[in-house]
Amino acid sequence: MGKADRFKTISKKWKGYSLELAEGGRSNYEDAVLLVKKKGKVIAKIVKDSTNGHHHYVFGFADNGLIVSGGANGQLWVYSLKGKPLAFLSAHLGSVWSLATSGRWLVSGGDDQRIILWDLSSIKNSSKEAKILHPFLIFFPAVNGEWALWNEKGEYTASKNGYQFLGWHVNRGKDKGAKWIPVKLKRTLSAEYLNKFIKKHQETP
């Protein structure tokens, strides 16, 4: 990949548009309102509350002009230039603090130590209702140098001891504690799936 294909920190400016924080919302937080401006004039407001993350911790424009904002409680949303919610990106378990883009791709990171790759190509401005988007890949780097990588299809791979982080958290009812069931088989991510990502990335305008 050349320099043009590398991910870059999400930008608060896109063509003639810009984004700016303002105080407001039900809790009157200083970062609860995101102003969408066109040539310096406010054309829309995106207000956060308890249902969509309280704050705009990190925000900016994807390469195609979609607005992305991460907040508290795993809330990561995509909006149109008019401030309309287009998609909820479902996977983070804590506050979202970082975003980077490259063509159709978005990378997010937050308190849960997950680095998540999203394919935004299915999100359309013409959508009547906000959709739920699941990740393309999830990467978990542990502090001890081990790591795990998985997708929504249930395929995964990991470092030598990284499989300890993969498994199922089973709720057994109010009278019993939850049970952690670790994976027993190494179900490696298919080369076809990873090659699909590489090919899409290379074909991104």
Domain residues of the chain, as ranges? Answer: 8-135, 154-205
pLDDT at 187: 57
What is the residue-level pLDDT of the chain in tens, covering all 205 positions? Answer: 445 468 999 999 999 999 999 999 988 999 999 999 999 999 999 999 999 999 999 999 999 999 999 999 999 999 999 999 999 999 999 999 999 999 999 999 999 999 999 999 999 887 788 999 999 999 999 989 999 999 887 788 888 888 888 877 778 888 888 887 777 655 555 656 656 655 655 555 4
Q: What is the pTM of this model?
A: 0.84
pLDDT at 194: 59
What is the fold of 8-135? Methylamine Dehydrogenase; Chain H (2.130.10)
- With tokens 């791979």, the residue in question is 157
CA angle 165-201-107, nearest 5°? 45
Rounded Cα–Cα distance for residues 205 and 201 (Å): 9
SS3 content of the chain, % helix, strand, coil (to 5): 10, 45, 45
The Cα-based distances of 69 to 16, 86, 105, 176, 192 in angstroms read: 19, 12, 15, 38, 31
